[in-house]
Amino acid sequence: MLEVPVADGGEGTVEALVAAGRGELVSVTVEGPLGEPVPAGYGLIDGGRTGVVELASASGLTLLPKERRDPRVTSTYGFGQVLEKVRRSGVIRIIAGLGGSATNDAGAGMAQALGFRLLDARGRELPRGGAALARLARIDSSGVDPAWRQLRAEVAVDVSNPLCGPEGATRVYGPQKGADSEEVLAELDAALANFAAVVSRDLGVEVAELPGAGAAGGAGAGLVAFLGARLTPGAPLVVEAAGLEQALAGAGAVFTGEGRVDSQTAYGKGPAEVIRRAERAGVPAVLIAGSLGDGWDTLGYRVYQIGDDSQPPEYRVRHAAELVEAAAGRAAMDLER
């Protein structure tokens, strides 16, 4: 049996790619969303030529209790510190996973950590946080290490939201990050719009309507603007980097899984990408589900639920290993028929 760890760009992406590529995990200490020291890390794969990072490890929502979440002041500065450490390790390519951010600053803090100066109308450096972007008047990139131009950055995103507007970063994801009123939402959305206008003028990059730019509080836009990154659906990027295509050669069957399988499984999720590639290679694929939600039976997949609905969720969590084994056994018997 050959195992290929899979993720879709969110939390767990670094561990999945390091495990798949027999890479190295590196631990670092950086500034968290509010500037306090937090442990973070990154991965090195491809013999140290590729670095793998997750924004959530340094600037994630889980790093702050609910009462301290405020996207007006939280920053991606620590994520930028991680990126700089990765660059200095000698990589030529960076894969960045976005998701689970506590921020709404369009990667401005990240840019400041990399040497960009974000200035107001009086030439003063902006403070950190999403609200300060309303005062952004000029971007000075003269202090950025030229070595960044030699790196290829690819960003794994699992959303297609633009930076601003009704479907943008603030309106859709701001409330879960602490934007608790219409006034705050309007303030932050306007700040991102100003950021996009200054980026267009000073950097010559259009990010306002770019699909995926709204990922991680606009960090998708920031990575495109400041590092020339390419935004790409997370699951295909990670699955490809993990080496699934090579593993499919000669395989008799593929088993993948998801905690809850429903109609959304087919939209950018890791298991759906695994099944798509397996079917393309002519290999039968099985999806093991922790539970089933609306629309699971419309997917056209071979789905096997662990346990049954008569068992409470707590039981299935406690006995997950044996229930997964039993479900996989049923699937294997069906495939042999």
Per-residue pLDDT of 271-305, as tens digits, reads 998 999 999 999 999 999 999 999 999 999 999 99
Q: What is the pLDDT of residues 23-52, one digit of tens each?
A: 999 999 999 999 999 999 999 999 999 999
Domains of the chain: which residue ranges?
Answer: 13-235, 251-336
Helices (H), 204-302: 215-227, 234-242, 244-248, 270-280
- Reference 77, options 39, 45, 50, 103; nearest CA is 103
pTM, two decimals, is 0.84
pLDDT of res. 28 = 97
For the beta carbon of residue 62, count every other beta carbon within 10 angstroms.
Answer: 10
Distance CA 228, CA 189 (A): 23
Fold (CATH) for 251-336: Rossmann fold (3.40.50)
Q: Which two tokens stand for residue 308?
A: 């049954």
Pick 13-235's CATH classification: 3.40.50.150, 3.90.1510.10, 3.90.400.10, 3.30.70.20. Answer: 3.90.1510.10
Distance CA 262, CA 285 (A): 17
DSSP per-residue codes, 2-37:
-------SSTTHHHHHHHHTT-EEEEEEEE-TTS-E
Q: Which two tokens stand for residue 163?
A: 């930076």
pLDDT of res. 1 = 81
pLDDT of res. 309 = 82
Q: What is the pLDDT of residues 234-279, one digit of tens each?
A: 788 888 888 888 989 989 999 999 988 988 788 778 899 899 999 9
- Reference 223, options 248, 203, 243, 253; nearest CA is 203
Which amino acid is residue 70, in one-letter code?
D
